[in-house]
Structure 1
Amino acid sequence: MMNGIRPAALPAAAPAAQWDALCQPVVRDLAWLLFSADLLRAQPPVGMLASAFETSGELAATIAWLHALDADPTGLQRDIAAARLTRLGRYAECLLAWFLQHGPTARLIAANVPLRRAGLTLGECDFLVQTQAGRRLHWELAVKCYLHAGDSRAQLADYVGPNLQDRFDLKLSHLLDHQLPLSARVEFASLGHVGPWEPQMFIKGWLFYPLGQWQWQRHERDEPAGEPAEIDPAHARGWWTTRTDWPAFAAGHAQAWRVLPRLEWLAPRRHEPGAAEAEGIAFVDALALNERVAHQNGPTMVAAFWIDDAGRWVERSRGFIVPDDWPRKAQAFARQ
């Protein structure tokens, strides 16, 4: 245990999620991918939402399958390690593909199917899936982390990527106008994957809000006002704050902190007693973390941890610490 940290009662938690009882990080990430709230509401007629199960029986079978996998995750861990992943999106793709190949519900027909015309690549379909009921689905998967740029406007353009190279409105437009229609194009029929295919979007992730806005949202029971109509109000939420403002918040918010590597951006983190030390994971106090992020050029995702009654490190919240000039740049990027 880190010097100076004493066990304390974990803050009141939300109702247990399907991944809370799972121990293995890779299995928790897979469960989060399957069960976490979508970032978006359905966008008919093209942008319908994907689901990994069609019936209550399939849902129950998936939960039982995940618990069995948690008891023996060797195959999943081996395949993920062999893939040598560095990008969050590829990690999510591998997890979902593994579920479709080994899980109890829908069956994977093909993944990453390129569509070409006259030697030019028009696009790539992420997943072609057949359900147990015989439906043939075209899934487009994305896992996104966007920060609200701090403006009060209820527009998707206000949600920007931490490195200001991506924006939620542009991502949705690309999904609806380009990616999801790929399987309905005339050229697609020549690939041998007999349709018709129902396009669906599998969009997961976290949206991060300015610290004061996030603190208000935590106590708001109704649907928060001012959010774009496209966004599912049940989406996963985090916070962001500048380096100058972060220490005042950090002082009383956690027993310890961690910088979250990119491949740990899916499920809330939880570390069993002794597991963090065995894996070389270091928990630090707010002062040490502040010194570390001071040398980062861009936003850094961090997580706040408490120790629960079982001696586990449990994530309390997560957020981005951003350079002091980032909010101004983010608002300019949102208005481009």
Structure 2
Amino acid sequence: MPPLTESLAATCQQRFHLRWGHLHDPHVRALAWLLDSPDLLDPAAPQWSGQVASLTAPLPPATVAWLAALDQAPEPLHDYLAIQPFTRLGRYAERLMAFYFTAQGILRAHGVQVRSAANETIGEFDFLLQQGEELLHWEFAVKLYLLEPTGAGQAADYFVGPNLADTLGNKMHKIFSRQLMLSQHPAAQSCLPQPVARAQALLKGWLFYHRHADEAFAAQGISAGHCRGFWCELAEVGSLDVQRALILPRLRWLAPVSVAPQETLDRDGLRAALEEHFTHDSMPQLVALLQDDGEAAIEIARGFIVPDDWRARAEHRVLRPRAIAGA
């Protein structure tokens, strides 16, 4: 592994291990990544009109010390999370952030549903935060998208979810045209302790590019320093440079991992596990590539392994909305 560095060229994994390698609890590590990882969207990009939120960077020393102490005694966080076997990644990340905002003393409300007089759900406030005298509405999301290469990635619609259920473009449209407007709805007024001063979106995540793509590429509006990974088809796994690997369960998709070497797979074990998975399930698998670092194996790269027909299905997913729009 190259020397750990804080340079702009360093990977997200390198920066994370340098800053947070002393943390051991996986949930505390996930929280540290949420607080310290690069934003997915560039707050200064003109198309966001100042509606992209960003956390303080670098984290204040008090927060760094708080995370270290939490790692030594993580039981309050575990109790707060109330982890269930099939917890959705987004809800898990929201709970982590709610725990942090509560500890900071700025959380006014979390997950407040707004309903009409007919009891229909109009929307939900992810976070209502107190900043001085002002009340802020923050929409929060953690997303992982793969760049479908046929459109050269110039539009957010070419970033598709691994299960092809959504695109970055769809997510942005929903957040900026609907969710951030929620406080202006008449039905929301009874849910608010005071008028909302600003509504913003905080997005964290990873974007994945085909393993032969230009690593310097960044789409418009995306943070240039965002966390990156690769994707490849199952047939390409044999050409990966694999010393050790780990297929990541969904709740380990946030922070770069550090695990005991005996938990890992070699190249043959990885391929066998993936082939077995794809015999009955088409969901891409997120794999961490690891390297020995003393008594642990630490993540140096990550990528989605997709079934061999995924590229064609992803192209259809991207082009279908355009065909409908042009009809």
Shorter-chain TM-score range: 0.7 to 0.9
Aligned equivalents of 2:223, 2:28: Cα separation in 1: 25
Offset of residue 82 of structure 1? 5.1
* C-alpha distance 82-233 of structure 1, shift in aligned 2 (>3 A): closer
1:302 to 283, 287, 312: 287
Aligned equivalents of 1:107, 1:264: Cα separation in 2: 27
**Residue 174 (str. 1) matches residue 174 (str. 2):** yes
**Residue 86 (str. 1) matches residue 90 (str. 2):** no
Which residue in the other structure is 1:111 paired with?
A: 110
1:65 counterpart letter in structure 2: W
Offset of residue 235 of structure 1? 0.7
The secondary structure found in structure 1 opposite 2:235 is: coil
Which residue in the other structure is 1:245 paired with?
A: 236
Q: In structure 2, list runs of 5 or more residues that go unmatched.
A: 7-14, 321-327
* C-alpha distance 290-180 of structure 1, shift in aligned 2 (>3 A): same
Output the TM-score relative to the length of structure 1.
0.84
Aligned equivalents of 2:269, 2:261: Cα separation in 1: 18
Larger fraction in helix: 2
Offset of residue 45 of structure 1? 3.2
Matches within 5 A, 1:123-202: 123-131=123-131, 133-151=132-150, 152-202=152-202
Aligned equivalents of 2:25, 2:273: Cα separation in 1: 28
Aligned equivalents of 1:190, 1:333: Cα separation in 2: 40
Aligned equivalents of 1:39, 1:324: Cα separation in 2: 28
Which residue in the other structure is 1:231 paired with?
A: 222
Aligned equivalents of 1:270, 1:327: Cα separation in 2: 31
The secondary structure found in structure 1 opposite 2:196 is: coil
Q: Which moved further from structure 2: 24-33 or 67-76?
A: 67-76
* C-alpha distance 143-306 of structure 1, shift in aligned 2 (>3 A): same
State the Cα deviation string for residues 71-99 of structure 1 (Å, max 9, x = none): 21121123324555521011101100111
Which residue in the other structure is 2:267 paired with?
A: 286
Offset of residue 46 of structure 1? 6.2
Aligned equivalents of 1:46, 1:186: Cα separation in 2: 24
Which residue in the other structure is 1:101 paired with?
A: 102
8 Å contact from structure 1 (residues 307, 314) kept in 2: yes
State the Cα deviation string for residues 16-69 of structure 1 (Å, max 9, x = none): 334333222111100111111111123543622142x4x97x722211211111
The secondary structure found in structure 1 opposite 2:38 is: coil
The secondary structure found in structure 2 opposite 1:162 is: coil
Q: Which moved further from structure 2: 106-115 or 36-45?
A: 36-45
The secondary structure found in structure 2 opposite 1:303 is: strand
Offset of residue 292 of structure 1? 1.2
Identity of aligned residues (%): 36
The secondary structure found in structure 1 opposite 2:96 is: helix
8 Å contact from structure 1 (residues 258, 303) kept in 2: yes
Offset of residue 121 of structure 1? 1.0
Q: Which moved further from structure 2: 26-35 or 150-159?
A: 150-159
Which residue in the other structure is 1:66 paired with?
A: 67
The secondary structure found in structure 2 opposite 1:95 is: helix
* C-alpha distance 304-241 of structure 1, shift in aligned 2 (>3 A): same
8 Å contact from structure 1 (residues 93, 141) kept in 2: yes
The secondary structure found in structure 2 opposite 1:207 is: strand
1:321 counterpart letter in structure 2: I
Q: In structure 1, list runs of 5 or more residues that go unmatched.
A: 1-9, 218-223
Which residue in the other structure is 1:47 paired with?
A: 51
8 Å contact from structure 1 (residues 46, 199) kept in 2: no
Offset of residue 231 of structure 1? 0.8
Alpha-carbon RMSD: 2.0
* C-alpha distance 312-134 of structure 1, shift in aligned 2 (>3 A): farther
Aligned equivalents of 1:82, 1:317: Cα separation in 2: 27
8 Å contact from structure 1 (residues 184, 197) kept in 2: no
* C-alpha distance 153-305 of structure 1, shift in aligned 2 (>3 A): closer
Which residue in the other structure is 1:3 paired with?
A: none
Offset of residue 302 of structure 1? 0.8
8 Å contact from structure 2 (residues 261, 292) kept in 1: no
1:49 counterpart letter in structure 2: A
8 Å contact from structure 1 (residues 157, 335) kept in 2: no
Offset of residue 276 of structure 1? 6.7
Aligned equivalents of 2:317, 2:107: Cα separation in 1: 38
Aligned equivalents of 2:302, 2:172: Cα separation in 1: 24
